[in-house]
Amino acid sequence: MKLRGLYAITDSQLLAGKFLAYVEAALEGGVTLLQYRDKSSDEARRLREAEALRNLCERYKTQLIINDDAELAARLGVGVHLGQTDGPLAPVRALLGHKAIVGATCHASLALAEQAAREGASYVAFGRFFNSNTKPGAPSADLELLEQARIKLHIPVCAIGGITLENAAPLVAHGVDLLAVVHGLFGADSSAEVTRRARALNELLQNK
């Protein structure tokens, strides 16, 4: 499977009361990867929501990724995304098998990305590129980093952090394969607007 396109990431607070409706609206517009990101300790709810997302993703032929929780990912037979504080990647790759999608946060560090690639990452994520509601304190990355990554890495590159339809084009022009979007996708007034944004973000990548 070619990892190129829109990478939608859920936000429990942003999606409160419209969780599945907005996620399905995004899938309707075309999503390559959907990450379930929930930092709460309510394991029963997290399992229930993740299972519901897996069922939706199967319908839309989209890959589900679980944020930070390799055990939940293994239980559901889906992929996982690891932050820099989530421990080494190699044991997670061994747990999930060679076919699973395993992503790694690399902030603004090419060295971290190269290490993740060596350890079996399916893609690496750089960011933040713009002011981010989700991670306001994250270090900032620049377009030059994407140029270097495109030369040195042989796995897909993801950009994250404050990405919207209005500011995404330069990232695509500098070689990004995946646009990871939270508020720029789900911070919409209606499910129809979520679908419209998803389609438009996808078109940016497919036309490149």
Output the known binding site.
35-39, 67-68, 86, 105, 132-135, 162
Question: How many C-beta neighbours within 10 Å does residue 105 have?
Answer: 24
Amino acid at 88: P
112 Cβ contact partners less than 8 Å away, ≥ 6 residues apart: 84, 104, 106, 124
Distance of alpha carbon 204 from alpha carbon 194, whole angstroms: 16
**SS3 per-residue string spanning 66-131:** EECCHHHHHHHCCEEEECCCCCCHHHHHHHHCCCCCEEEECCCCHHHHHHHHHCCCCEEEECCCCC
Query: Residue written as tokens 């902030």?
Result: 107
Distance of alpha carbon 116 from alpha carbon 110, whole angstroms: 10
CA distances from 145 to 83, 110, 138, 155, 184 (A): 19, 7, 16, 15, 22
Residues tagged in the binding site annotation for Mg(2+) = 68, 86
Are 100 and 73 spatial neighbours (Cβ–Cβ below 8 Å)? yes
